[in-house]
Every structure is written in structure tokens, then in C-alpha cells.
Amino acid sequence: MPVLRVVILWHQHQPFYKDLVTGEYRLPWVRLHALKDYYGMVKLLDEFPDVHQTFNLVPSLITQIQDYESGSTHDPFFRVASKPARDLSLEERRFALQYLFQANPVHLIGRYPRYAELWDRFQSVGSNPDRADKFFQRQDYTDLQVLSQLAWFDEFFLQEPEIAELVRKGRNYSLEDQNFVVRQQIDLIKRVLPAHAKAAKEGRIELSTSPFYHPILPLVCDTNQGAVSTPGLPLPQNRFRHPEDAREQLQRGLDLHENVFGVRPQGVWPSEGSVSEEVLGIAAGLGVNWMATDEGVLARTLGMSFMRDGRGRVPDVSAGKLYNIHRFESNQTHMHLLFRDHALSDLIGFVYSGMTARDAAAHLMQNIKDAAQPIMSTGIDAVVPVILDGENAWEYYPESGREFLRYFYDMLQNDHSVEAVTVSEAIARHKNFNVLHSLTPGSWIHANFNVWIGAPEDNRSWDYLYHARNFYAQASSGCSEEQRKLAKEELFIAEGSDWNWWYGPEHHSANDRDFDELYRKHLSNVYQALGATPPDYLAQPIISGTVQPLFTPQTNYIHPRISGDMIRYFEWMGAAHYTADRRQGAMHGKVFLMDSIYAGIDDKNIYGRLDFTAGIPEGDFEVVVTLESWPERAVRPRRSIRLSAEVVDRELSAPRISDNGDTLPSDGVRAVLSKNFEFKVPLSLLYATPVESAWPSDEAATKIRLRFSIWQNRLPADALPVEGWLDLRLLPEMELMALAH
């Protein structure tokens, strides 16, 4: 009799949230998912010994879990949740209100009545931390701190007596209760990796890996692969091509698994299911026996479609292709390939959370059997791969989906026509492999790479990565081994897929700006590690935001005295003025140093002013103003200069004007730091002068644009405008006034 083999692969992944230079975690999701999902997903299989599965643990996730196990991590979210409420500063209270409610409001917050009560109160003031603070008392904060952590505890952990008693208490938590929750977290996280190792040693699960920092391997090998999967796709200006990086990312992933679990992985789920023939060759050369991706890649490779009928079934001839194990053979490359059933996987990820657990499990089991029926009716074994995230879906299920999984696993274990096996077990038992001699590059999303390349934001991020990678190649030979190691690590982190996941139009979250800033921080760290100053553009967000700044264009010539005194209101009247709205997307760890900027011209000079948020920043720093003059219809600036001045012990050094690193004469340049920072630069340094708007020559500058940034430890700490530039029109005064009216 033919056999139906169900291959379930849970992909466990979180981005690399740690800043290697500061050691600080910029988001808390590794810790929270380690508490809620990773342990229980494996532990649950103790109840179903005949249900074998594959767990794919991304290496950078493993290293972050190990970091938390040490108890020495710098996690500001954990720190705020741990601090006695009476000791929270105003900033920390606002931070707690902004971030400790970032959880599913139904299944995590709503499960705890007191947590839901506090959530409703926060919602009633528009989810605004500034306004909400006065409605939260000390006990409210303590309850929020405790419940926001308990809400992420695994179902198995919630059954333990002391934790269960704390849940039953419900409200009015004490500092002792809070400290208990804090201590428990590290102890519980320490169970995650040993649970996986034990199950793998017993042969109940297979552990597979991914490239270390979760890069899109085909694009790391060659960004031109984006246009292979999508002809005509706009590509970055610079072609990133580093197959040696792809190989090392994969090599290190295999090595880490062997070191942690004692067994070298046989298989790889490539990041986002992204494959190409070059990637298969690299993996085969490293001894990888199998890889998996999505049915869409197989469909494009075979030139067919896996369209489903009203019952979700593919046509009989298609089933014979999809529910099989394939063997790629080309030159020296030999690789087993599995292609996930996209529809079945998505049912778990997006549909079954809205059904009763029993009905959802029964529906999934029947769909699996129906899918395999056409191939099994011919007497041939069928392999049905179900592959998806092993953590993200469960936030939308009651009690992390455990009831649904128990029903489903029970059906798998007790149906003797079905085998629930690991990928390697399925390969070992399979007989009728389909041979492929070519493979169309693609990922699990639309069988292309458009999520990670093609959009302006995506392409800009690849260009920034290209420049950082080139700088590393040029500068690392003259640095110490320690410097090279840190810079390379930061580069590999920046090669990860997670940053571009949030760029472009496809995906958005409450933490979009957090990811953008962290990506640029990793790139900045490359330069800093090698003893250089990062490029100015890394101070500017890549992401296009919805934050609406307050902007007023210049309406008059200005002639301010450069003294650094904020009181002289009338001297700056008529200047362009920019104040960013900092309320949206604020990230803990991001210190807002700059409140607003002013800029304007007269017939000889450009003037600028920077107002600080809370006085002159503490410690030493550097103020940088980038200025560019632009001709009409130009594609590049006529002149770009950089005004920089260091502040040491609150004293401003003489300003330096440079062009592409070369120092320029500073005649007529003035910069002052008092209550604020002000400067004056002759327009002649920008090869600019106000011109009649009706008769500009092709080379005459018609506008100046500028931006301010503050640098600390050679890294960008804050910048205005938040996005883009502040533009000034180079017009005679009367025309400027007429334009304003």
C-alpha cells in the first residue's frame, strides 16, 4: 500500500536585534518568543512520540538565546519591566506605556482582565504615552510590568504552581511578585535549547539550519538575480556580488549547530525559502543533503501552475509533481529538494486561528489526505511538506494554538495510513524521486525576490551595503584582527533579510523605524570598527515615513547675528523652519537631541540654526551640517560641502569646511555654540548666488538643501530633517517674498 508522509517543518527565526558595539538589544522579541513558543513547540511532542517533525533554528537566533541564558544581556525592555515602579523616570514610564502593550489585544492582553483594563485605559487617551501617564498610578505600572511579561509565558510554564498562583492573583502585584517574574525568565529561557537537543538525540525531531544571519543567499551571491526572477525589475545602482559571503554565512550556520547540538545538520531551510542554482552548488559543496523552498519555485521551474479547485486540490498531474521529493542534478551539484504546499501552510498561518481547534485540525487532516489522494491512487507514495513560522502564528490563536496542535497531532499519530516524519526520514524512505536539471531562482513569496529588492528603499539599502562591503575590503587589511572581526560581523548582520523585509511597500509594523535605525547602525558600526567615520547618509532614514513634520519655507531674506542666543526671535523671522514630530515610532535607546532647525539666505550667505531638545547634549559630540547647491533639472549637486565642529567639554572647536574629505578655506565661515548652535557660510563656497528665476543658466544653482546631524563616538546620534533635506530657493529677496504670498 502507498504511504502518505507528512513532513512538518517549523522555522524558528527572529532578526538580530543586538547592537554589537553597545551590546544593547533594540527590540525584545527573541526573549518574548523564547518564553512563549520555542520550548513548548518541542515539549508538546512528548505527548505524541510517533509524530516526528523538523525544527529549523536560525543560528543568529541561537546565539541570542544563549546571550539571554547568560543573564548579562542589555535589554532595555526587560530593564523597564524589571525596575520598581516607584523608581521609573517619566521617560521610562512613557516607554513602558508605548512598548509593554505591544501584544495581541485578544489572546495575550485580553486573557488577563487587569492587563485588558489597563489597555483600555491606554486606548481611551488615543494610545498616547504622554497623555496616558497622568492616568496611571504606581500600582498600575507594577501590574502592567508583571502582566506584560506573564502574557508571554509558555502554556507549560503557566502550569507550574508558583506561576499559576501569580496568574490567579490577577492584580495588585507586589515588588516581590515583580522580582519573581524577572528571575523566572532567565531560568525558563535556559530550557529552550536543551529541549531541542534532547528531542533530536532521541530521534523525535530533526534539527536543520539556515545561513547564519538569515541573508537572502541568491541576492548576496548576485543582486542581479532579482531581475532574473522578475525581468525588468529596477535594481540597485551597484551590483552586490559576494558568493564568498553566502558560503561563509552557510558554513557558520552548519558549524554552530554542530557545536551546540553535537550533530551536523543534514538540511537547510534557506532564508525565506530563497534558492538559486548557485546557492544549491554552495550548499552541496558544504555537505548539505537537502534544502526546501516553496511550490511557486517548482511551478516556475517546470513551467506549470498549481492552481487549486474549490476544495483546495491541485489537478492530478500537478499533485504528482508537488507531493514528491526532487533531486537536483547539474554538473557537480546534487541536492534533494522539497517544495512546501503553500496553501496548507497558509491555512495554519492565517486561517485556522479563526476556527474552533477541533474543526481546524480535522479540516487540515482531511485537506492533507485529499491533496495526496491523486498520487496515492496510482500506488505511489506521497510526501506533503507543510512549512511555516513556528512562532508568529500562535499569537492569533487562543492559548498559543496548543489545543489545535494537540488535536492535529493526535490525528496524525492515530491514522495508520499516515506517517509524520522528519525531512531526512522522508528522503531515506522515498523511492521515486523526480530529477531536476535546472531551477528558477525565487523565494516562498511569489517565487521572486521583490520583497527584498526593487523598491527604492530596498535598492538604497543594497547600495549602502555595497559601499560598506567595499570599504571593508579596502580598509580591513590595515586594521587589527579584532577590528576586522567586528567589522565583518556587522557586515554579515547587515546582509540579513530582515531589514529589507520592512523596506518597500509590502510590510509595515509598529517597529518599522526601529528596524531602519538598527540596520543603519550595523552599517555605521562597520566603519567605526575600522577606525573611520561613517558616511553622513547613514544618519538619514532609508524608510519612507508617515510622520508629518512641521515645515515652513523661507519667506524673507534673513540677516541674523551668529551668537547662539535663542531669544533673538525677530532675527530668524522669515527663515525656513523644520520641527519633526517625534511621537510616532520612537524607539527606546534613541535619544532625541535635536528639536528644530532654521535656515535662510541673503544675497551673500546662508545661515543656519539648531535648537536642542533639552539643552546642549551631555558628553563630547560633533555637529555636522551637510550643504548642497543644485542647478535646475540637475541629477547631481553642483557642490556638496560639509561643515563640522567638535564639542569637547561643552566648548565648540573652530568649524571645518570640507569637500569629499578635502579641507576648504573657511574665510567668512562662522559657527557658535551657546544656548543653541548657529552658523554662517558664504554662498560663494557653494558656487551659488541668488539668480532671477526666469533666466537661470543650466549650470546656475537654483536651490540649496541642507541637513543637520549630531555624531557621538563617530556614529550618528540624531538628525534633522528626519527624512530628506531642508530646501531653500536661491531667489532675489523680492521674488522670494512674492513667492511666499
Cell of 200: 533530536
CB 534 within 8 A of CB 714: yes
168 Cβ contact list (under 8 Å, min separation 6): none
| Gap between the Cα atoms of 631 and 638, Å rounded | 7
Task: Look at residue 43 and tell me if it is in a domain.
Answer: no
| Shared-domain flag, residues 281 and 154 | no
- Contacts of 406 by beta carbon, 8 Å cutoff, 6+ apart: 44, 47, 357
Instruction: Provide the grid cell at 383.
Output: 510526501
CATH of the domain at 533: 1.20.1430
Helix (H) or strand (E) holding 683: none
**Residues 117 and 157 placed together within one structural domain of the fold:** yes
Q: Beta strand 701-712 with 726-729: parallel, antiparallel or unpaired?
A: antiparallel
Q: What is the pLDDT of residues 25-35, one digit of tens each?
A: 989 999 999 99
Which amino acid, 41? M
In a domain, 445, yes or no: no
For residue 448, tell me if it sits in a domain: no
What confidence tens digit (pLDDT) does each residue in 257-311 have?
999 999 999 999 999 999 999 999 999 999 999 999 999 999 999 999 888 887 7
According to DSSP, the β-strands at 290-294 and 267-268 are: parallel
* Same domain, residue pair 644 and 733: yes
- The pLDDT of residue 699 is 61
Identify the three-state secondary structure at position 671.
strand
User: Are residues 153 and 208 located together in one domain of the fold?
Assistant: no
Last residue of a domain, one of 489, 517, 539: 539
Q: Is residue 53 part of a domain?
A: no
Rounded Cα–Cα distance for residues 535 and 640 (Å): 13
Domain boundary pick from 486, 519, 539? 539
Tell me the pLDDT band of 588, cut-offs 50, 70 and 90. very low
Where b means 16+ CB within 10 Å and e means fewer, 477-499 reads eebeeebbebbbbbbbbbbbbbb
Q: Find the domain containing 494 and state its range.
A: 456-539
Task: Sort strands 651-652 and 639-648 into parallel, antiparallel or unpaired.
Answer: antiparallel
596 and 687: one domain? yes
Residues 477 and 593 in one domain: no
User: Residue 26 falls within a domain, yes or no?
Assistant: no
Phi and psi at residue 608, in whole multiples of 5°? -145, 155
* 81-114 burial: b if 16+ Cβ within 10 Å, else e: bbbebeebeeebbbbbbbbbbbbeeebbbebbeb
Placement of cell 543573564 in the chain: 71
| Between residues 352 and 167, the one the model is more confident about | 167
pLDDT 10s digits, 483-538: 999 999 999 999 999 999 988 877 777 778 888 999 999 999 999 999 999 999 99
- Whose cell is 499519530? That residue is 413
Look at the block and give the residue holding cell 523552498: 293
Domain count, the chain: 4
Check whether residue 206 and residue 165 sit in a common domain. Answer: no
Query: Same structural domain for residues 256 and 338?
Result: yes
Confidence check: pLDDT of 548 > 60: no
Cell representation of residue 707: 541637513
CATH number at residue 224: 3.20.110.20
∠ CA 64-36-79 to the nearest 5 degrees? 60
The CA distance from 645 to 604, in Å, is 22
- Chosen domain end from 189, 219, 234: 189
Q: Indicate if 156 and 219 belong to the same structural domain.
A: no
What is the pairing mode between strands 621-631 and 605-612? unpaired
pLDDT, position 694:
46
Distance between CA atoms of residues 219 and 224, nearest Å: 7
Residue 41 lies in a domain: no
Residues 618 and 684 in one domain: yes
Considering the domain architecture, whether residues 557 and 701 belong to the same structural domain is answered as yes
Task: With a cut of 60, say whether residue 585 has pLDDT above it.
Answer: no
CA 601 to CA 608: how far, in whole Å?
9
CATH code of 650's domain: 2.60.40.10
* pLDDT, tens only, 406-449: 999 999 999 999 999 999 999 999 999 999 999 999 999 889 99
pLDDT value at 732 more than 70: yes
Q: With bands split at pLDDT 50, 70 and 90, how would you rate the model's confidence at 552? A: confident
- Residue with cell string 512546501: 340
Asked if residue 494 belongs to a domain, the reply is yes
Domain for residue 673, yes or no?
A: yes
- Detail the DSSP E strand segments found in 212-269: 267-268
Are residues 524 and 422 part of one domain?
A: no
Indicate the pTM of the whole model: 0.80
- Between the alpha carbon of residue 504 and those of residues 218, 231, 449, 658, 714, the distances in Å are 19, 18, 12, 34, 29
